[in-house]
Amino acid sequence: MRRHLRRTVIGVLAAGLLATSGVSARADEQPGKVERALAAQLDAGQSGFWVRFARQPELKTAARITDWKARGEAVVSALRTKADSDQSKAVQVLRAAKADYVSLYIDNSIYVRNGSRELAAKLEADPDVVSLQAPKTYALPKLSTTPKANATAGLEWGVSAVHADQVWSRYGATGQGIVVGSIDSGAQYDHPALVQQYRGTNADGTFSHDYNWYDPGRVCPTDAPCDNVGHGSHTIGTMVGDDHAGHQIGVAPGARWISAKGCETPDGCTDVSLALSAQWMLAPTKLDGSDPDPSKRPNVINNSWSGLPNDPWYQDWVRQWVAAGIFTTFAAGNDGPACATVASPGDYAESYAVGAVDEHGAVASFSARGNPASGTIKPDIVAPGQMILSSVPGNRFGYSSGTSMAAPHLSGAVALLLSAAPSLIGDVQATRALLDRSAHDHDDTSCGGTPADNNVYGEGMLDVYEAVSDAPRANAGLLTGTVTDDTGKPLPGAKLSAPDSNVVTTGTDGTYRLYLDAGDHDVTVQSFGYATQTFHVQIGAQTTTTKNLELSTTPRSTLSGLVRDGSGHGWPLYAKLTIDGVPGQWYTDPRTGRYTIDMPVGTTHKLVVQPVYGGYTTTSVDVLLTDDLVKDVSIEIDTKTCTAPGYDAECQKVRGGLVQGVVKDANTNQPVNGATITRAGQSATTVTTPDDPALSDGFYWLFAPAGTEKAAVAMHGYQQQKKAVTVQTDWVRPLNFALKAGRLTVAESGVDATIRLGKSTQKTITITNDGTAPATYSIADTQRGFDLQQSLKAAGTTPVRRTPAQPQPGRITSGGAQPAAAQPAAEWWVPVANYPVPVKDNAAAAHDGLLYSFGGALADGTPTPVSFVYDPAQLQWRRLTDMPEARQKPAAGFVDGKFYVVSGWGPSGAPAPKTLIYDPAANRWSSGAANPKPWGAAGSAVVDGKVYSVGGCVDECQSATTDVTAYDVAHNRFDTVAPYPEPISWVSCGGIEGKLYCSGGLGSDGSPRPQSTSHSYVYDPATNSWARVADIPLDLWASSYAVANGQLAVTGGAAMDSTVLTNEGFVYDPGTDRWTALPNSANGIYRGAAACGLYRVGGLQDARAVPYTEQLPAYGTCDDAGTDAPWLTESVTTGTLAQKASVTVTLTMDSGELSQPGVYRSAVSVREDTPYAAPSVDVMLTAQAPANWARLSGTVIGRTCDGDTIPLAGATVAIDRRANSWTLATANDGGYALWLPGGGPKARVVVAAPDYRPASVDVALRQGSDTRLPFTLEPLYC
């Protein structure tokens, strides 16, 4: 049975379906700004709490200032000005209450140390206050006591591993002139390894702690620095420590350090101390907090502490530091080896996160890994972090492990880099780029990424010597140019170096940049296949010298050979071949195992051979060519795994051979990927071969027992094919397939007819099978919309409205101006009672004839738990029990009569994992399992009793994930399913006929900002896989979407590369794999919600949250089946066509099934059991009004108390004529229209609207007339 939303229409429907009667939430029902955790604490008594204000100003202009002092002052001034303005009213309240508080400008907040509920209520009333939040504490890793690590001649192994000592000796840079800051547990300032480097140490041996030490929690017994934990002394020692008595523990012993005690005890760091420390670093003060001086800020800040992943609470602080030119280092965290464990703040794009490696360069097991679905790579780099010797309180030295130890290696390296190249001071991005490109790659893609940049090692192992060598040092000049071959073609990958310099490589365009010390140099250029060239060049300090180079090719010979199994079978192997240090790759012939490579003579090269088949080892051999050479290579299996084809679990040979080949489509001759080949219990799947240009996609291989037996290949939509194949022992047998399938076409692209209302007509379409196999088909039609006939012309359509805008994908924590007036009325969309409050990022759903909306955020950006239900019978919204906690942009849906909220941003803005469950029957909430991937802005759909969450993002949504989870309602658990094919957020999704369809959205492809997409995919739970389907016609994201009439409807959103908001919409039919335009809505809105009906609720018009609710009639079928057009029938509905056969189908269009004249649209889809997209025919019927009918239309306006008039949207228009009655609602412009039989008795027309006096009139409807009947309603109260 099809389930419809309840309708209140009596008799015939016209343009307007539902009258509106607005209902407003009372003031005492408005959701507050006090987060629930704080409210509970205040209920129990006084508590400390945060008062948050609007976001900080843009600091881009300050970042362009080159003078260190002026830049710092500009940042602080801009932040102070914004904070002073926003916080003025709150400060007055706090002073009047004599409260103990501290104001922070760095993130525009106030911390109240011991406030009451009454004080919180007063602050909440301040319109500039965004939220009040409870304080938190963050963990400080414990120092471990591991055995001593090896060190070389007093030089700590980590210092040597990053080659800091080479920078000292080669370039004379030790960090001199650079200041490093530490936010940690403090420091023993007079430790032998730290005292000389403390900025507070005077030349005469006395100390000045002003501007050099800050203890916000007043933990230390005196004004001097202290360390009651030991962690801070250890990390500072790794940055700068040296006692000049054999303990060379610091990377930059010539740098100076300052410290803020953000971590009070071994139990952790309070957020208020961390925040105050962050602000102090931006402008250090005297001990009493006076005279802040931004010029004394450090060049680098080390943060060897962390919280949970995806927690944006500290992001403002980091951004302000970067704006002020401070390099910001964070430990990645110690929650490895699982993926997606890098902690905040290290996971921010603005932070430089450091993972840990051991003495052998292998990643430490505890080192946190990045999220493969996030679209970003974390950690950024790795450094020594296991068994690190450094200073600890008591003038001692101790060992510790953790990313806390790795981070100060990086911070010290930055100090060396800035010391050697002062022009980099303040240029954070250039410094990061140098560190990135000089790090040594380490291939580990187990958590995503590439061999060169992955979520385990980041860019690779830190090498500060390479970084300094590649930096614009004070006594160095830049040699640059382009390397080409003798035809002028650029040569990528050529290597250039001079004695005592680093090695640089030309880019794809052949260009290079090599920094050399001032003086004379002999530079060598090498490229595979070209003669090595050496040239002399004179370099001036701080100058640029250009030298273009042309390399001649060297004589070449041919290296060829056979790659075979070396463990017993001896069969040819399909393998990838690379040459060490040479770009490119080669492949053997998969059938013969033979290869051929053109190589230069006279040079020894290392040939690396890696079989494509799993279970074999990778082998390398040295090759010296003096002439053509044949080099065969035998590859042994990996005896650690014993998984190579043809070997058992004990690595023993099994009698048989290999079968391999390509599967193609017999109709198109295109490769078929994903087909399954089986023989004698063995199976394989065809795959793509993108890196081997000589081998087609659709390739497979499998091991099979010796002998003759049939092999079968199967793929959905194709006929199964079987072939007998004789497999020889220890050999390769080729076996290709061409799969047959039916393929249906329809001769007609469209059918249309024009008839009088009440008449019928017939048209025909012809379906042909031009494939290579029979095809079974079914025919169905689906309604596509209706345009009411106008007076003497065709029905109109609402124009496309693309409004220039700057749509924002992240959480918007402050509101814009008051909502603008509604756009002009849409021809199809009709207004419904406004939502009681302006709302955005809400969730909506239809259930049991009612429209529900849950949570979201209010106009000022405050997250809200308030929810409402709209009853079409009562024409009004009714408030529900509040959600247990606010949720913004969640994945959610009804299953078995209950509403499940499974993801989204919570009250604090962080992703909220708890599942919230609403029971409409009891009007009560409960909770379910925690979602491991609870991201906001995820796509949402219900499929077979599971609520899916697709992609999503955190906070500002500058990157997206590929995570997909399915909440199993029956078992209260989350299953992680196949990831989305690309990182995505704000995607539109729906469940149809047991599959999950998603389209559009905002992705992250490595560009500086997120990119919108029109890509669409379908997920099949049966195969746990995604497949591409037809792209949506426009790159929409943050649209309102719902499943209705068995189709995915997507309306509104941001489009055109995030430059406009649009009122356009589209509907996707899975049966035909086609998108069709929906009628344009009245308003260009994004970040709203939609539900079957088709309803749109709330959203943003640019930066303004709106309460608008609209409905598109005829989309009220809320089950998986499509809605048949009642006026269209087909003479044939199912059948099977032999190849090359045809069938003619008669379409009967009967307007006697219709009640109103106009243009009716449908689509006849031919669904088939083939691998191809089903053909579809657009059908349009124009039903003209009989000559004796009449059109009644008009506009309803209301008079205001000051005498002005306004259109009344949603006013009720009731028409009665004897036994017949009709009820409709006015559109946004107050208009209404209805066709009726003309003549006969007069009709009574009654118009009513809330707060206005009703009006009525009797009207005669003459046959063939167009009667205009306007109304002006008078107010009830003035």
Angle, helix 271-282 to helix 68-96, in steps of 10 degrees:
140
Distance (Å, whole) CA 1137 – CA 1128: 23
Q: What CA dihedral angle connects 238, 241, 246 and 248, to 10 degrees? A: 40
Q: 163, 209, 231, 847: which one is catalytic?
A: 231
Neighbouring C-alpha atoms within 13 Å toward the C-beta of 417: 34
Cβ 442 vs Cβ 457: under 8 Å: yes
Question: DSSP label at 824?
Answer: S
Cβ 893 vs Cβ 845: under 8 Å: yes
The vertex-1252 CA angle with 1250 and 1254, nearest 5°, equals 100
Classify the C-alpha dihedral 352-357-362-365 as positive or negative.
negative
Q: 351, 404, 1012, 1151: which one is catalytic?
A: 404
Cβ 1265 vs Cβ 1192: under 8 Å: no
Please name which of 22, 20, 9 lies closest in space to residue 1113, comparing C-alpha atoms. Answer: 9
Q: Is 271 a catalytic residue?
A: no
Q: 184, 517, 841, 1150: which one is catalytic?
A: 184
Chain-centroid distance of CA 359 in Å reads: 36
Residue type at 751 in one-letter notation: V
Cβ 37 vs Cβ 48: under 8 Å: no
Distance (Å, whole) CA 721 – CA 1143: 27
Chain-centroid distance of CA 664 in Å reads: 35
DSSP string of 758-799?
T-EEEEEEEEEE-SSS-EEEEEEEEEEEEEE--SSSPPP-PP
Q: Is 971 a catalytic residue?
A: no
Q: Is 971 exposed, middle or buried (0-12, 13-18, 19+ CB in 10 A)?
A: exposed
Burial code of 340-355, b = ≥16 C-beta within 10 A, e = fewer? bbbbbbbbbebbbbbb
Q: What are phi and psi of 929, to 5 degrees?
A: -60, 160
Distance (Å, whole) CA 780 – CA 923: 40
DSSP string of 826-889?
PSS-EEEPPPSS-BBS-EEEEETTEEEEE--B-TTS-B---EEEEETTTTEEEEPPPPSS--BS
Q: What CA dihedral angle connects 712, 714, 717 and 719, to 10 degrees? A: 0
Q: Is 633 exposed, middle or buried (0-12, 13-18, 19+ CB in 10 A)?
A: buried
Query: Helix, strand, coil shares of the chain as percentages rounded to 5?
Result: 10, 40, 50
Distance (Å, whole) CA 1108 – CA 1086: 12
Q: Is 404 a catalytic residue?
A: yes
Chain-centroid distance of CA 999 in Å reads: 14
Please name which of 159, 139, 145, 158 lies closest in space to residue 400, comparing C-alpha atoms. Answer: 145
Catalogue the active-site residues.
Answer: 184, 231, 404
